[in-house]
Amino acid sequence: MKINVLAFGIAKDIFGGAATDVELAEKATVTELRTSLEAQYPRLKQLASYMVAVNNEYATADAVLQQRDEVAIIPPVSGG
Amino acid sequence: MKINVLAFGIAKDIFGGAATDVELAEKATVTELRTSLEAQYPRLKQLASYMVAVNNEYATADAVLQQRDEVAIIPPVSGG
Amino acid sequence: MQPDLLRYSCQMALPGFDEGTQDLLQNARVLIVGTGGLGCPAAQYLAAAGVGTLGIADFDTVSVGNLHRQVLFTPEEIGQMKALVACEKLQRQNPGIKLVPHVLKVTSANVMELLQEYDLVLDGTDNFDAKYLLNDACVLAGKPLVYGAIYQFEGQVAVWNVKQQGSFSPNYRDVYPEVDASQVPNCTEGGVIPTLAGMIGCMQANEVIKYITKTGDVLAGKMLLVDAQTMLSRIIKIGAVTKTSITSLSQTEEVPTVSPEELQQGLEAELYELVDVRSLAEREAFDIGGEHIPLAELDEEFHLTTEKPVVFYCASGKRSAEAVKRLQKRYPNRQMISLDGGLKAWLEQL
Amino acid sequence: MQPDLLRYSCQMALPGFDEGTQDLLQNARVLIVGTGGLGCPAAQYLAAAGVGTLGIADFDTVSVGNLHRQVLFTPEEIGQMKALVACEKLQRQNPGIKLVPHVLKVTSANVMELLQEYDLVLDGTDNFDAKYLLNDACVLAGKPLVYGAIYQFEGQVAVWNVKQQGSFSPNYRDVYPEVDASQVPNCTEGGVIPTLAGMIGCMQANEVIKYITKTGDVLAGKMLLVDAQTMLSRIIKIGAVTKTSITSLSQTEEVPTVSPEELQQGLEAELYELVDVRSLAEREAFDIGGEHIPLAELDEEFHLTTEKPVVFYCASGKRSAEAVKRLQKRYPNRQMISLDGGLKAWLEQL
C-alpha cells in the first residue's frame, strides 16, 4: 500500500516538500515505516528521534498502519 | 432528522451549553434551521445576524442540510 | 551586513525572505486602529519586524482596567493618551521606523482621509460601530483590513477585502450584515482572558506580515476561530469573492456623554434623572442609584416623566450609549446622555 | 472594588473566574527560563494577569539580532543582562507582583535548587540541552513544565509532567527520547517569523493561567502544532501517563568558548587554529578564514595536525559547540574551543 506522509519542521527540508509517499506492505507497522523512510532519507535517522503521529495520535513502534491513515512526521524543534 | 448544532461565543450563553439539538424535516435548509433555532431561542434573532457554518464552510440561506453535517452557530464578537 | 539588517537577520534567514522582503516591510504603511488588547501586541510585533510606517489611532486614555491585557501600558501612564504612550514606546523599540500617532476618534467624517496615508488597516477596535466603519471604509478605499475580535476565551481573525484577480475577497458584512450591539456583551461585561488578546493580536500582525511580504496563505475569504480553553481552532471558508455592495459610510452617531465627575456634581444639584440599564445581577452587586431598567426592557418599560435630561449608565458606557441612541429616536427633542466609561470609569475616577 | 482588583476586573468577569481565582494567580510562583522570543511575550502576559511571583532566568545579554522578535528589549539595552532588563520592565508593568531575576546559566548543578522556589516552569529556552535539562529536572521535582518551541513558521506547545490521579502525564522524553542537536537548525540558522514567537509565547502563558486557575483543558498528554503560514493547527494526543523513567540529570557539558574580541587578538598573534563548521553555502557567502569542514563531515574529515588550541565557528555558536563536544571525546587532552555567539556575535561586536 502507498502511504502519504506529511512533513513538519525540518522533515520538510529532508523530504524536499510538505509530504512524501512511502510504499509499504499491507499491515506494516510504524517501525517498518520508519525503516523505509530512513532508507530513503538518511538525514531522518540522524535526528536521533522524531514523532510519528497517525490520525493525530502518537504512534508507538508496533502500531499497524492502514491505507487511509493520516501519517505525520514531527521532528523536534529547539528554537525560542 | 436531528441536527446537533455547536455554539460559539454568545450562542453558548443563549443555548445554555456548547451545543444543542434541533429537529428538522429531511432536506431542511439553513433558513429553516435559523427559523427553528430562533423560535427556541428568541435572543438569537435579536443579534440581527449570526453565521451558520456547515462543515467549516459559510452556509447560504438556501443550503440544504444533511443528517451528518457538522453545523456551527458563530455569532459576532466585538471585543478587543 | 549593515547594522540595520543585522536586526532582521533571523527573519531574513526564513525561506522566501531576503533583503527584498525586508524592503517591502520597510516601505509598508500600516494603520492600527485601537491600541487595546489586540492593538498592543500587534503593534509591538509590527514595530519589531520593521514595518516602516506605523500609524496608531486611539482617542482613549490608559485606564487601570486595561492593564491586565494591554501590555504596552503601566500604572504610571493611567490617564495619558494611549496613542502617544504607544508611539513613544514603539519608537524606542525600533528607532528605524516611523511612528505616527493619531489622537482622534475615527468617524465617518475623518476615516477616508486617514486611510489615504496607509496601505492596509489592522482592526484593534473593541466595538461594532468601529468595526463596521473600518470595514466599509476599507471597502470604499479598496484596501485590505486585518480583522480581529475577542470575547471571553474565543477569538476571530480574518483578512477582509483583499484584491485578487480583479475582484475583492469577502468583507465583514458578507459574514455579519448588521448587528444589534446591545445583544453582544463586550469584554468589560463578559470578560476576556488576556493571553487570548495576545494570541489574536499576534495572529493579526502575522497576517499583516504575510500580506506585505507575499508569503504564506493570507486568511482572505476565510475566518479563523480560536478557543483558548481547549486550543482547538478551525478555519471557516467564506468564499472567494464578496457578495456585498457597499457604496457609502453609515454616519457615525454622536452620543452625548457626561463624565463621572460632572455626573456626580449634577446629581448633587438634582440636575439629572438617572437610569441604570444593567442586568439585575449587576444591579444587585452595586449601583449609584436611579431607576433600574435593563436595556432589553427599555423599549417597553421606559416612560419619560420628567423635564430633566436623563443620564443612562451601565458597566462600561456601551449599553448606556445604545440606550441613548434608541431613546433619541423616540424623543428627538429631549436630552438623553450616557455616562462616559460607565461604572468602571466612575469607580476609577471618583 | 479595591484598586488592585480593578486592574483584574476584566478577567475576573470571565465565567469560572472570581476573586478566589485572582488569589490563586497572586499566590502562584512561576519560573520562566529564557527571555527570548517565547519568554518575552509569556512574561508580559503573566505579569499583566497578576501571577504573584515571576522568576526570570537568563544568563545572556541583549543583542541586536534579538530585537526583531524579543519585544521586551530596545536597541539602547544591547549588551545589558536580559534577566535584569526584563525584570525592571515587568515590575513597572505590574508593581503588585514580585519579580526575581536569576542571572545564571541553568545547569545540572543548580537547576534542582532553583526549582524549589517555584510551582511551575515555563520553557523559553532555545536549545535542546536546556530543554532536556528542564524536562528532566521538572520530572525529578514533580512539577509541571509548560513547553514551547519554534522553528521558521512552525511552533509546538505542550504541558509536560502534570500530576493527574496519582500519576504523571507524558514529558518531553516520551515524545523525543533524545536528539542530535547538530541535525536541527536553530532560529539563527533557519530563521523564525517573529509573530509566531509571540503566538507561541502567549499560548504558553495561557496554559500557565489555565493550570493555576484550574480552568479550561490544559495541554497535558497532548502537543499542539501551529503553522503560521496557513494558521492550520492540530493537537496530537500523546497519552495519559508517562512511559519514561527519569532518575537523574544528565551532566551539563561545559564547552570552552572564546569571545569574538579574544579570538581576533588570538588570530593576530597566531595562537589558534581555526575551523569553520558551517555549510558550503554559508561559507561562500562570508567567512573569517580557517579550514572549512561542515559539521556533518567532521567525524571523517577532521584530523589534528597542530599543537595549537583549535577554535571552531559557525553562525550562532551552536554547531561549533557541538563540534567541540564531539572532538573533546576524540582528543580528551587537547584544547577545543567554540566561538561564543558565532559569526553573528563576531559581526555585532567587532
Q: Is residue C106 part of a domain?
A: yes
d(CA C156, CA D333): 60
**C-alpha cell belonging to residue D109:** 548543578
Indicate if the pLDDT at residue A67 is higher than 50: yes
Indicate if the pLDDT at residue C300 is higher than 90: no
Q: What's the sign of the alpha-carbon dihedral C208, C210, C214, C220?
A: negative
For residue C148, the domain's CATH number is 3.40.50.720
Phi, psi of C337 (to 5 degrees): -135, 145
Whether D310 has its CB under 8 Å from any CB of chain C: the answer is no
State residue C315's pLDDT score.
87
Q: Is residue B13 part of a domain?
A: yes
- What is the tens place of the pLDDT at every residue in D159-206? 999 999 999 999 999 999 999 887 887 777 789 999 999 999 999 999
Whether C176 and B9 lie within 8 Å, measured CB to CB: no
Task: Answer yes or no: do D269 and D161 share one domain.
Answer: no
Q: Is residue D251 part of a domain?
A: no
Indicate if the pLDDT at residue D1 is higher than 70: no
Whether B76 and C154 lie within 8 Å, measured CB to CB: no
A1 Cα to chain D: minimum distance (Å) = 24
For residue A16, the domain's CATH number is 3.10.20.30
State residue D315's pLDDT score.
87
d(CA C70, CA C67): 5
Q: Which amino acid is at D216?
A: G
Q: Are strands C222-227 and C233-237 parallel, antiparallel or unpaired?
A: antiparallel
Q: Which of C174-188, C248-262, C284-298, D37-51 has the lowest mean pLDDT?
A: C174-188
* Cβ-nearest to C187 among D10, D196, D347: D10
Task: Answer yes or no: do D215 and D270 share one domain.
Answer: no
Which residues of D are known catalytic residues? 187, 314
Task: Answer yes or no: do D132 and D56 share one domain.
Answer: yes
Max mean pLDDT among B61-65, D7-11, D188-192 falls in B61-65
Q: In this complex, which chains have at least 3 CB pairs below 8 Å with chain A?
A: D
Whether A49 and D177 lie within 8 Å, measured CB to CB: yes
Whether D156 and A49 lie within 8 Å, measured CB to CB: no
Q: Is residue B79 part of a domain?
A: no
Enumerate the residues of chain D whose CB falls inside 8 A of the CB of residue A8: 154, 225
Q: Is residue C303 part of a domain?
A: yes
d(CA C310, CA C313): 10
d(CA D268, CA D276): 17
Task: Answer yes or no: do D188 and D333 share one domain.
Answer: no
Q: Is residue B28 part of a domain?
A: yes
D/C Cβ contact: 3+ pairs below 8 Å? yes
State residue C1's pLDDT score.
47
d(CA C326, CA D72): 45
Q: What is the domain extent for residue B70?
A: 2-74
d(CA C127, CA C33): 12
Task: Answer yes or no: do C215 and C285 share one domain.
Answer: no
In angstroms, the first-to-last Cα distance of chain B is: 39
Residues C243-251, mean pLDDT to the nearest whole number: 95
d(CA D82, CA D79): 9
Indicate if the pLDDT at residue A22 is higher than 90: yes
Q: Are strands D257-258 and D291-292 parallel, antiparallel or unpaired?
A: unpaired
Task: Answer yes or no: do D273 and D130 share one domain.
Answer: no
Indicate if the pLDDT at residue C3 is higher than 70: no
Q: Is residue C250 part of a domain?
A: no
Task: Answer yes or no: do D193 and D63 share one domain.
Answer: yes
The mean of the pLDDT values for chain D is 94
Residues C244-267, mean pLDDT to the nearest whole number: 94
- What is the tally of structural domains in chain D? 2
* Cβ-nearest to B58 among C177, C187, C236: C236
Q: Is residue C38 part of a domain?
A: yes
Q: What is the domain extent for residue D171?
A: 3-237
Q: Which of B52-56, C271-275, C346-350 has the lowest mean pLDDT?
A: C346-350
Confidence band for D252, pLDDT divided at 50, 70 and 90:
confident
Q: Is residue C183 part of a domain?
A: yes
Q: Is residue D244 part of a domain?
A: no
C-beta atoms surrounding B3 within 10 Å: 21
Whether C190 has its CB under 8 Å from any CB of chain D: the answer is yes
CB distance C308 to C272 below 8 Å: yes
- What is the tens place of the pLDDT at every residue in C104-140? 999 999 999 999 999 999 999 999 999 999 999 999 9
Q: Is residue D38 part of a domain?
A: yes
Q: Is residue A79 part of a domain?
A: no
Q: Is residue A68 part of a domain?
A: yes
Task: Answer yes or no: do C232 and C262 share one domain.
Answer: no
pTM for the full predicted model: 0.92
For residue C269, the domain's CATH number is 3.40.250.10
C187 catalytically annotated: yes
Task: Answer yes or no: do C230 and C294 share one domain.
Answer: no
- What is the tally of structural domains in chain B? 1
Enumerate the residues of chain B whose CB falls inside 8 A of the CB of residue C181: 78
Confidence band for C271, pLDDT divided at 50, 70 and 90:
very high
Closest CA to C228 of B14, D199, D12: D199
Max mean pLDDT among A41-50, C20-29, C293-302 falls in C20-29
Q: In this complex, which chains have at least 3 CB pairs below 8 Å with chain D?
A: A, C
Distances (CA, A) of C157 to C221, D27, D226: 11, 34, 15
End-of-domain residue from the set D237, D265, D284: D237
Whether D236 and A49 lie within 8 Å, measured CB to CB: no
C-beta atoms surrounding D61 within 10 Å: 18
